[in-house]
Structure 1
Amino acid sequence: MKGNMQNVNNSSSNITSMSTENQVSAWLLSFCFLLGFPGNIVVVVIIIRYFKKDNFTLHLMLSLAVSDILCLISLPLWIYSLNFEWIFSRGLCKFLFILIFTSMYSSVLTVTLMSVYRYLVVLHRSQWAKLGRKGERVLLCCLWTLALILSSPVMAKANVVVKGQGHHCWRISGLDQESLAILLCEILLGFVLPFSIMASFYFCLHKKVNQTTFFSNPRLARLVTTIILTFVILWFPVHVINLVKVLAIAFKSTNPSVSEKLIGFWNVSSNIVNSLTFLNSCVNPLLYVCTFRLLFQKSEKQDRAGTSTLDSRL
């Protein structure tokens, strides 16, 4: 999961040297920060400055960009910790965990809401119109509140621990039953449920797409497909790793040798896989560029037709 950083600071007992997986993770996180942070800042500026404030699609993209910024802004501290050790306070450790998890859940919820909105505004526009601008703002506030609620349990588990010769900001696992419940909830709420909703609404939309003129532009269809594929490609591996740990816990009493091998695989791969999820924050601005281009083109067509407002049905 995007914020699943419980093992991201898993350095060796000698803090002056780094394992190969930690080196790869540090380079990936550095790349994500250098590319994604300024990219999302530019996205926020463009949306606020150049687009109308009554376009709900742009509000959703703005929500995504803000969640990406909140996540990426913490990366320099994690990179330093990977290279050396955690020298900061326990309070900052807890704060960064809840910041990352909140941004992760808000990102997932926003993408999910975007799929629902796209379906309703194209095929049932009058139903969505009943919500109104005020209702849309309330919906976004509820989205971020829910993200904060879902991420709050991690605050109790995040702590600074001593291992080897260094201090590390980790998420303490606790009892096996507790870890199992947490991991299963993260897999369900962070991937299975939102992906099922997204896939269902996009499938229903594409099923009727040829019956409407709205999706006659093949670039828009490619954008929809890209959003889904990006979500699957960049989020699926970390949930597979979480599932590996679930299996390791399940086999702990019945087959200790298999459990040990699974835990070993998880320890080696979790750093790199968790780092890869931050690439989603780098890819999002590229997807926004495609959307902005379509919005500008649509606005120009409407201007030529004498229309004064920008259609928000994207």
Structure 2
Amino acid sequence: MTSSNNSSLDSTLIPASWNSGSLISSIILGLCCVLGLPGNIGVLVVILRRSSRRLNFTLCLMLNLASSDILCLAMVPVWIYNILYDWTLGHAVCKLATFLLYLSLCSNVLTVTLLGVHRYLQVLYPQMWNRLGRKGEVVLLLALWGLACALTSPTVATRDVVDGGLHCQQHKGSDAERVAVLVLQTLLGFVVPFSVLVTSYCRLHRRVNQTALFSSAKMTRLVTSVVVAFFIHWIPVHIVNVVDIAYIVLGASLPESSIPLPCQRSTAARIARCFLFFNCCLDPFLYAFASRRIREQPKSSSSGENRMNMPLGL
């Protein structure tokens, strides 16, 4: 009698959607929000308070990165709600939340990529970058957010309240539409930015290392951490994308072969999303605080050495 009452009570208090996977992913996302928001807000405060003069472009990118991370982490409670409960906020909020989340993620990727390109041009081709001018830098930042909006649009267009209004997620659509969105996300959201990032830093390191003025130990560690962190945090979600593409393609040509693929897909997708949010939590420590430590090392008598020793142009 007691066990049946307890079972009835548990089923009343604990929603059916709550399972170990959803609870663990929600806890991880909550921790990322609690740790990441203060860190990124701290970056904003430190940069703005310590920069009495006009901000240089790298500091603007740092502010841009922190702002996109804050926007992303601010959406965490919405997605925890989406994981644990049935979606009751309507179609408009689903679209808006999706737009803000993916806008922040796209802006994050583009900002990190631009940090690498800017550092490469600033050190090796400073005159070329200086010709851009202040107005050109403003246009570049506006173009970054415009491109982020453009990259976000396909995802927003294919996301809606599905399963009878239970979840805010990607709707089925046609196979061609789903594959196109997934391929676009993987190519423009990972393959191209990661290739540009690695190429910029590798060429920068090779060229600067040839000079006798450059001591590369600390910068090498920072650059390596930037590239490795980008790869580790973004590759899981794109592996899930590749699996989804394989499932769609195999489902059309070899239906029997595609049956096992969705079994663990939901769990894998939740883990991949946790990596993305953890990346936003790690950014202030990886970029701002690490850059500050290296910047505060004893200054060299050579202005050229000073410029090369400052990571990411700070």
TM range, normalised to the smaller chain?
0.7 to 0.9
Aligned to 2:241: 242
Matching of residue 125 in structure 1 with residue 131 in structure 2:
no
Matching of residue 78 in structure 1 with residue 76 in structure 2:
no
Deviations 1:292-311 (A, max 9, x none): 223344789899xxxxxx99
Task: Give the CA deviation at 1:87.
Answer: 2.3
Aligned pair in 2 of structure 1 residues 74, 61: CA closer, same or farther (>3 Å)? same
Task: Give the CA deviation at 1:17.
Answer: 4.3
Matching of residue 68 in structure 1 with residue 69 in structure 2:
yes
Deviations 1:43-66 (A, max 9, x none): 111111113433211111111110
Aligned to 2:174: 175
Aligned to 2:43: 43
Conserved? CA contact 1:15–1:85, under 8 Å = no
Task: Please provide the CA RMSD for this pair.
Answer: 2.3
Aligned to 1:88: 89
Aligned to 2:5: none
User: Aligned partner of 1:294: which letter?
Assistant: I
Deviations 1:9-57 (A, max 9, x none): xxxxx94441222112101111110011111111111111113433211
SS in 2 for 1:22: helix
Would you say how many aligned residue pairs link Structure 1 and Structure 2?
293
Q: C-alpha separation between the residues in 2 aligned to 1:149 and 1:229?
A: 27
Higher relative contact order (CA 8 A, sep 6+): 1
Aligned to 1:313: 313
Q: C-alpha separation between the residues in 1 aligned to 2:311 and 2:238?
A: 37
Aligned pair in 2 of structure 1 residues 181, 17: CA closer, same or farther (>3 Å)? closer
Aligned pair in 2 of structure 1 residues 299, 155: CA closer, same or farther (>3 Å)? farther
Larger fraction in helix:
2
User: Aligned partner of 2:161: which letter?
Assistant: V
Q: C-alpha separation between the residues in 1 aligned to 2:196 and 2:249?
A: 28
Aligned to 1:257: 256
User: Aligned partner of 1:177: which letter?
Assistant: A
SS in 2 for 1:252: helix
Aligned pair in 2 of structure 1 residues 155, 299: CA closer, same or farther (>3 Å)? farther
Q: Name the TM-score, length of structure 1 as normaliser.
A: 0.87
Task: Give the CA deviation at 1:277.
Answer: 1.3
Aligned pair in 2 of structure 1 residues 81, 191: CA closer, same or farther (>3 Å)? same
Q: C-alpha separation between the residues in 2 aligned to 1:299 and 1:293?
A: 12
Show structure 1 runs of 5+ residues with no match: 1-13, 304-309
User: Aligned partner of 1:204: which letter?
Assistant: R
Aligned to 1:98: 99
